[in-house]
Structure 1
Amino acid sequence: MPQTSYPDKVDISNCDKEPIHIIGKSQAHGVIVACDKNSLEITQIGENAGEFFGIAYEELLGKPISYLVPESFSSTLKGLDTFRQMPEVSQVEINNIQFIAIPHISGESLIIDFEPAKETRNAFKYQRELSNILNNLSASKTPEDLCADAARITRKIFGYDRVMVYKFDEEWNGEVIAEEKDDKFESWLGLHYPASDIPKQSRELFLKHKVRIIGDVNYNPVPIVPEISPINGEPLDLSRSELRGVSPIHIEYLQNMKVGASLTAALISNGKLWGLLACHHYSAKIIDYYHRQTCEFLTQIFSNELSLKETNRYINKLEEWGKIRDDLVNQIEVDGKIKKGLTDKKVLFTELMDCEGGALFLNGKLRVIGKTPSKEQVKSLCLDFLAQREETVYFTKSLSKFYPPAIEYIDTASGILSIKLGRSNKDFLLWFRPEVIQKVNWGGNPDKKASYDEEKQRIAPRKSFEKWTQELTGVSNAWMDYQISAADAIRESLSSIILEKQKLKIDKLNRQLMEAHDELELFSQGLSHDLKAPLRGINGYAHILKEDHFHSLEKSGQKAVDTILSSTEEMGELIDNILSFAGVSGESINKNIFSVNHLLEDILETINMDSNYPRTSIELDKDLPRMMADKRMITQVWSNLITNALKYSEKEEKPVIKIGSTVIDNRTTYYVSDNGIGFDPKYSEEIFELFSRFSGDNFKGTGMGLAIVKKIIEKHNGKIWAESEKGMGSTFYFYV
C-alpha cells in the first residue's frame, strides 16, 4: 500500500523507514513547482514562490505554467509522458530575474525546480575544467590513486572545506579512504561509519539522483502546498528533485558534526553503489546547477575509471588463476576422479585463494586440506547452512554472525568462500580464512547510534564523532571481487566436469539397460517356449482323458481332470500376459489418427455381446473424438477396460456399461464406466500394480491386465486413473 503522507514524527528509532522521497518540503535556495503533466496547470508549489518570483503562491496555484514562464519554455513542456522525455534545462526570466529551470516527470506530475541563475557560464573555462577532470582521473594508475585524485580535484574545483571518498563494505558500513581538507581541521581519513548513518532508502535514492546538495544545513524547510497532489491524491514524489527537502534526522546529524553545507555524489562501479564522494563545508555554501553537472561528470569519469582499473586488476590475476585452474582440471582428467585431482596431487585447489585451508564435500564424503574446522563441523556447515542458501557462490568475512555455531572455530574459519558444485544442493568446495584481530577506528562509538534529547523529548542522532577504536574479533580479511570471480570460474569448470561424468555414467547405465532389455526379451521368448511346451503336453493329455475316459472316472477323478484343464488355461493366460507386459517396454510406438468409434465397434463384435453378455446394456457415445496413438496398443487398452467392466458387472440385475469422453484440465479424456462391484477407493493406486486383485475369488483373472494398460498409457505419455466406491461401480479415465 503506498504511503499516504510523510509521518508526523520521525526520529532515529524509525529513520530507516522514513519516506524521504515524499517529504513534502523543499530547501530554501529555490522553488519547486509541480504541474499536471497533461494540462500543465500548476497543482502544487513551494510557499516561498513570492520571495523568488514576486508572485504569491496562492495566485499561481491553478494557473497554467505559461502564466509564470515565457511561452518559449512552456511550449517545450507539452506532451511529455515519462521521465525519459525530459526537456533540456533552460535559463528563463521571471519578473526580470534569471532562473535555471530544471524539469522532470514524476508520476502524473511535471516537476520544475527553479534556482536563481548565477553569473553567466564561461564556456571555454567550463570545457577546460571538464578536460582537466578527464585527463587527471584517466592518469591515475590504481584505484587508490584514483580516489585520492578525485578528492583533490573536487576540492580544487568547488572549494569545500573537506572532501572525502567514502567506500561501502559488504554490510554497507563506510570507510573514508581518501581525503582533502583545510589544514585547520582534524583528519577523518581511515575512520569507519556504521551502515545506519546512510540508511537503505537514502542509498537507493543516490542511484536515481546521483548528486545531492544541501546548501544550508540550518535552513528553514519550505512547505509545498497542497501537501497531497490533487491529481492522484498522493504525496508528491520528489526522488529526483534538485531542491527536495532534507530529512530532519540527517539535518540534526550534520549539525552535530558542525557541518554547514554538503554535497554528496554517488560513486558507482559495475552498476552498483560502490561509495560516495562526500563534501563538507562549515558554513552555508550553494553550488549552482551547472557546477553540480560538473560534479556529476567527475563522478561518471571516476566510476568508469574505477570499473576499468578493477577490471584490469582482475585481468592481471587471470593468467595466474588460469594456470592453476588448468592444472587442476588436467589432474582431474588424468585420474578421472574429482576428489583426487583437487586434493591429492601436486597442485591443490587451495592455491587458488589466499587462505589457510579448504574442504571438498562431494557425494556425502568430505576431504579437508590445511587448517580447517573439524570434519563434523564442516559437514554441519555444509548441510545445515550452505545447503539452505540459494547462492551458488557464498562468501563472508564473519561467518559466526550468520551461522552462530561457527563461533567455535573462528580461529580457523572466521571467513569462508564456498561454491556449489554441479546441480546438487549438497556438494561444495570451500576455502577458509582464520580470524584476524583488527583495530577499527570509528567516527564515534558505532554502538551508540542515538541518545535521548531531554530538550526535544525524543531520540536524537549521536553527538560524538570523536575517534573510537574497536577491536574486532571473529572477522577475517575480506574476500575481494576478483577472488569471488575466480571461485565462480572454477565452479563452472568443475560443474562441467561433474555433468560430463554424470552423462557418461547415464550413458553406461543406458547401455546396461539396453543389454538387460535384450536379455529379458531372449529370456521371455525362452520362458514362453520352456513353459508352454510342457503346458501343452499337460493340456493335451487332460483332453484325451476327458474325451476317452471321462465317463469311466469317479466324480473325484472327473473333478480333477476339469481342474487340470482350467488350471492349464489360466496358466497359459498368465504366461501370455507376462509376455505382453514385458513386450510393451521394448515396442516402439507407431502413432496414427483413427476412429475410436470404429475400434470400439470391432471390440464389441469380437466379444459377441449377444451370446456372452445378453443382459448387459452398452451406452456408447456416437461421436467420440478421434485418437492419435498406436492403434494396436490402444486396442489392448480398450479391450481390457471393457472386458473388466463386463466381467465385474454381469451379476448385477441390470448391468450397464457407459463408454464416452469428456474434457478434464483442457484434455480430451476417455472413460469406461460400469455399475458393478466397485472397489474400496483406498486401492485406487494399487489396482494398477502387477498381480493386484481386489475382486475376491468369485472372479477369474491374473491381476496383470490393468498393469499392462497403465504401461501402454504411460508409454504414450498419458495418464490413467480410477474412481469407485465399493458396490457402486467403477469408472476408469485415461488420456494419451
Structure 2
Amino acid sequence: MATGAYSEQEITLTNCDREPIHIIGKAQEHGVIMICDLNTLSVSQCSANVESIFGIDLATILGAPLIEVLPKKVAKSFKRKLKNNESLLPKKFKIGNQKFLSIPSISKDFLILDIEPSGKSLDPVGFQEQLTKILAELNDSGSVNDMCQQAAMLVKYLFDYDRVMIYKFDEDWNGEVVAEVKEPQLESWLGLHYPATDIPKPARDIFMKQGVRIISDVNYKASPIIPEISPITGQASDISSSELRAVSPIHIEYLQNMGVGASLTAAIILNGELWGLVACHHATPKFINYHQRQSCLFLTQVFSNKLALKTTNLFLVKTSASDEIRKKLVLQMTSINNIVHALCNFDPTFVDILDCGGGAIVKDGEVYTCGETPEKKEIAKLCDHFLVNKGTYFSSKSLSNLYPEASKFKSKASGILSARFGNEEGDYIIWFRPEAKETVSWGGNPQKKGFIKNGIEYLTPRKSFERWAEKVSGIAKPWADYDLEAVSSLCENIIHILVKKQKDEIYSLNSRLVEANKELETFSYSVSHDLRAPLRGIDGYARILQDHYWDRLDDYSQKAVKTIVKSAGEMDIMIDDILSYSKVGQTKLSKQLLSIKQIVTNAIEAQNAENNYPGTIIKIDENLPKAVGDRRMISQLINNLISNALKYSSKEELPEIEIGFFKKKEQNVYFIKDNGVGFDPKYKEKIFKLFSRVASKDYLGTGIGLSIAKKVVDKHNGQLWVETEPGKGSVFYFILPDFDE
C-alpha cells in the first residue's frame, strides 16, 4: 500500500482538517472514473465498475488509447480541443441501448473523465418559468433569511428532494440552518447549529472549487480505481475535480446516522468566500444528472449574486448612516482643540457611529469612557496586556475566549472592536458590545465527537441529531463589514486632524523661532557693536597708564594694568567673533564658483603661518576641486578650520597639517587634518555650539570659531563633522552641495 493512500489514514480530532479526501482512490457506484495521460490520451487508471456498467473488460482498457475505449467521435473531440487549448465540454454517447455522458476535467498531467448515465434533463420551459418567478421573489424579499427560504423552495420544487436546507457558516465555520423546505413527516432542523468539524476544511475547499456535489446512494459500494497508484507519477492521483469520486467514510457514516439515502450539495460563494451551502437530502437513493446539477449550480450562482446585492445594499445603507455621524464628529474635532473632548462630550459621541453599548478612548495614558464599559483600570490593563500585540485593528465577538480577564466584565464587553490612532503606541479608540444571552440549539451535542484509544481521541461521525440546547455565555453580536468600514474611516479622519494640528503647531512654533532668532542676531550684532566704544575707552586709558605713569606704579598696579590691556584685547577679539557669527545669520548668500585651493592659500597667508608656525608642515592637494558658495562665508569657514589646525598642533614635535578631498556618493568631501592634541569623541557635537570649548587653557580661543564654521555650512545646506582621538589629532570634514567639477 503506498504512502499517503486514504485507506491508511486514521483521522483524529487533531488532523481531521487534513483528511486527504482529494485522493480517495475509489468511485461511486453509479458511474465510471477514467484517468488518462494528458500527453498520449491513453487510459492509465480506471474504476473497476467499468465491467459492470460498460460490459468492457478492465484489463483491455488499461493502457489502451482513449479512441479505442470511447466512441471515436467523442475521443477525437477531446483530443482536438486539448490540442487547440479549447474548453472541454461533456459529450454524450451510447453503449448498447444505454446513453452516457462523459464529463471531462483536467488535474495536473491527467485528463479525468466522469462517465455516468445521461439521465433526464429538466423541462427548459418550466425551468425558465420557475427561474423568472424566483428572481422576482428574490428581488421582493425583505431580508437575507427570506431570500434563503425562497431559494430553498425553488430547489425543492425543481429537484424534489425530501429536505432542502440553506446552511450558513459563521466566522468560526460553525453552521446554522437558516432556511428549510421539507416533506411534512420530517422533523424540522430549521435554526439548528452544527460545529465546524461536521464540514472540515478539505471539504469546504473542494466545494469552493467544484461548486456542486452529488451522492446518489449513501449506501453505495465503492468501486476501487485500478491501479491504486498512478503508473505515470508513482503517487495516488488527485481526483478532486471528479464529481464521481467516492466519499469520505466518515461523511458516509454521518449521513447514514442522519437517515439520509442520497444528497446534493451546492456551494454559495459570496465575494470570493464560502458563505454557505444548499444541502439537499433524500431518504432513498436518488440520481440527478449532470445538466440538472449544473442547473442547480446556476441557481445557486443567481442566488449568490442576489445575496451579494442585498448585502451590498445593506452595507451602503449602514455606511451612509455612519458617514452622517462621522461628518458631525469631524466638524466637532476641527472646531474643538481637544480631540478626546470633541469625541466624548458632545452630541454625537464616537460610540454613536456603531451599534454598541459603550466605548473608550485611551490617549497619553489616560482612559476616557462613554456609555456602558468596563472600569478604567480594566481597560488600561486590557490595552497594556492584550491589545498591544493585536495590530492596528482588532475585533472579536468573544473577548473572554482570547483574554480570560474579560470574563469579569463580559456583561458589558463580550464584543470588542479597537483601533490604534495617534503617534503613541498606547493610543486606542475602542467600542464594546454587551453579552448577547441566548440559547443555541445544536443538532446533537457538539462536544461529543470522538473516542479515546491509546491516549488519542479519534473522530467518529455524529450518531445523535436530537436537538441539544446550549446556553451561550460571553458572546456578543458579531461585528459586520460596515462596522469595520465605519471605524476605519473615522480613524483616518482622526489621524488626519491630529497630523494637521501638529503641522499647524510646528509651523507656528517654527515661525516664532525664526522671528526670535532674527531678533537675537540683531540684538547680538547691536550689543557687540555698542560694546566697542566703552571697550576702547578702557583700553585707551589703560595704555595711558602704561605709557606715562608706569614708573610710578608699584608691582601690583603694573600687573593690574597689564591684565586690563590683555583682557581688553581678548574682549575685542570676542566682539569680532560675535559680529562675524551674527553676520553669517543675517547675510544673504551670494553664490559663485569658487577655487577652494585659492581660498586655502589665502587663509594660510592670512594666518602668517610661515612666521607664526615655522615648524609646521602644510600639505595641500593640488587637485582640490572647485565649489559653489558665498566667497566671504566659505573663506570664514576654511580660515577658522585652518586656524584651529595650526593652533592645536603647534605644540607637537613635528606638527603637520593636510588639506585634501575625496569622493563620496558623487559628492566632494573636503577635509583639514592635523596631528595635534585631539579631544574626547564624546564632545564631537558640543564643539560646534556657541562659546563651547573642550581644549585646555594652554590654547587661547573664544569658542566661537567652530560655531561660525557650522553656521556657514548649514547656511549652504551642507554638512560639517569631525573625527578625533585624544593625542592623535583631529580631522574636520565638510561637504558643500551644488559643487562643480
TM-score, normalised to structure 2's length? 0.80
**Alignment-derived partner of residue 649 in structure 2:** 649
- After superposition, residues 416-565 of structure 1 pair within 5 angstroms as 416-421=416-421, 425-452=425-452, 458-541=458-541, 563-564=563-564
For the pair 1:148 / 2:149, whether they are aligned, the reply is: yes
AA in 1 matched with 2:139 = S
The worse-fitting range, judged by mean Cα deviation, of 164-173 and 663-672 is 663-672
1:76 maps onto 2:81 in alignment: yes
**Mapped partners of 2:65, 2:722: distance in 1:** 74
The answer as to 2:186 corresponding to 1:185 is yes
Equivalent residues of 1:87, 1:103 under 8 A apart: no
- Identity %, equivalent residues: 42
**How big is each residue's C-alpha offset from its partner over 1:682-715, in whole Å with a ceiling of 9 and x where there is no partner?**
5555555555544433333444555555566566
For 1:232-381, list aligned pairs within 5 A: 242=243, 249-251=250-252, 253-282=254-283, 285-317=286-318, 320-321=321-322, 324-331=325-332, 337-381=338-382
Alignment check: 8 A CA contact 2:48 2:224 kept? yes
**Aligned-partner residue type, residue 505 of structure 2:** K
Q: Is the 8 A contact 1:395 1:416 kept in 2?
A: yes
Contact 2:92 2:118 in 1 (8 A): no
Distance 1:622-1:352 versus aligned 2 partners, 3 A rule: same
Separation of aligned partners in 1, 2:158 and 2:287: 13
More moved, 587-596 vs 443-452: 587-596
Q: CA deviation at 1:389?
A: 3.0
Residue identity opposite 1:182 in structure 2: E
Q: 1:581 to 1:58 in 2, by over 3 A?
A: farther
Matched residue, 1:83: none
In structure 2, list runs of 5 or more residues that go unmatched. none
- TM-score (structure 1 length as normaliser): 0.81
CA contact (8 A) 1:259 1:283 kept: yes
Are the aligned partners of 1:413 and 1:432 in contact in 2 as well (CA < 8 Å)?
yes
Q: State the Cα distance separating 1:44 from its structure 2 match.
A: 6.4
- Spell out, residue by residue over 1:557-597, the C-alpha distance to the aligned partner (whole angstroms, 9 max, x if none): 66655655554455455555566667767777777776655
CA deviations on 1:380-418 (whole Å, 9 max, x unpaired) are 3345444543234x4333222233322222222222334
Question: Match for 2:437: what amino acid?
Answer: I
Cα deviation, residue 91, structure 1: 1.7
Unmatched tracts of structure 1, length 5 or more: 81-85
Greater shift, 426-435 or 143-152, is seen at 426-435
Looking at structure 2, the residues matched to 43 and 621 of structure 1 have their Cα atoms a distance apart, in angstroms, of 84
Post-superposition offset of 1:265: 3.2
The residue identity in structure 2 corresponding to 1:75 is: R
Deviation at 1:642, TM superposition (A): 4.3
Post-superposition Cα deviations, 1:249-288, rounded to whole Å, max 9, x if no partner, equal 5555445545455443332334443333333445555554
CA distance in 2, matches of 1:733, 1:516: 30
Q: Distance in 1 between matches of 2:583 and 2:195?
A: 72
- The structure-2 alpha-carbon separation of the partners of 1:533 and 1:472, relative to structure 1 and needing over 3 Å to count, comes to farther
After TM superposition, give the deviation of residue 146 of structure 1 in Å: 0.8
CA distance in 1, matches of 2:566, 2:543: 11
Q: Contact 1:32 / 1:114 at 8 angstroms: preserved in 2?
A: yes
For 1:398, the equivalent position in structure 2 comes to: 398
Contact 1:20–1:246 (8 Å) recurs in 2: no
The question of whether the paired residues in 2 share the 8 Å contact of 1:591 and 1:629 is answered with: yes
The change in CA–CA distance for 1:474 and 1:639 in structure 2 (over 3 A counts) is: farther
State whether residues 264 and 278 of structure 1, in contact with CA within 8 Å, keep that contact through their aligned partners in structure 2: yes
Task: Report the Cα distance in structure 2 between the residues aligned to 1:605 and 1:223, rounded to whole angstroms.
Answer: 101
Contact residue 107 and residue 238 of structure 2 kept, 8 A: no
Q: Deviations over 1:73-119 (max 9, x none)?
A: 32322375xxxxx624242669887543433474xx36544333614
Give a deviation string over 1:415-465, Cα, whole Å, max 9, x none.
2334444565544443333323221112233333322369x9955455443
Q: Alpha carbons of 1:319 and 1:18: their partners in 2 closer, same or farther (altered >3 Å)?
A: closer
Match of 1:172 in 2: 173
Q: Conserved in 1, the CA contact under 8 Å of 2:122 and 2:292?
A: no
State the shift of 1:145 in Å: 0.8
Partners in 2 of 1:250 and 1:718 — Cα distance? 75
Q: Aligned letter for 1:478? A: P
How much is the aligned-residue C-alpha RMSD, in angstroms? 4.6
Deviations 1:616-657 (A, max 9, x none): 445555556665666766655555444444443344444444
Q: Is the 8 A contact 1:25 1:46 kept in 2?
A: no
Q: Does the C-alpha gap of structure 1 residues 567 and 316 become closer, same or farther in structure 2, counting only changes over 3 Å?
A: same
2:80 alignment partner AA: S
Alignment length, in residue pairs?
721
Deviation, structure 1 residue 368: 2.7
Query: Secondary structure at 1:70's aligned position in 2?
Result: helix
Q: Which amino acid aligns with 1:444?
A: G
Show the counterpart of 1:118. Answer: 118
* Alignment-mate amino acid for residue 515 of structure 1: E
1:35-75 Cα deviation digits (max 9, x unpaired):
56xx5676964565965885858976697999976333323
Deviation at 1:309, TM superposition (A): 1.6
Could you say which residue in structure 2 is the equivalent of 1:195? 196
Cα displacement (A) at 1:25:
3.8
Residues 449-483 of structure 1: CA deviation (Å, up to 9, x unaligned)? 322369x9955455443322111222233334444
- Separation (CA, whole Å) in 2 of partners of 1:240 and 1:179: 29
Does the 8 A contact of 1:452 with 1:460 survive in 2?
no
SS at match of 1:175: strand
CA distance in 2, matches of 1:57, 1:712: 95
SS at match of 1:475: coil
3-state SS of 2:465 partner: coil
Cα distance in 2 for residues equivalent to 1:535 and 1:229: 108
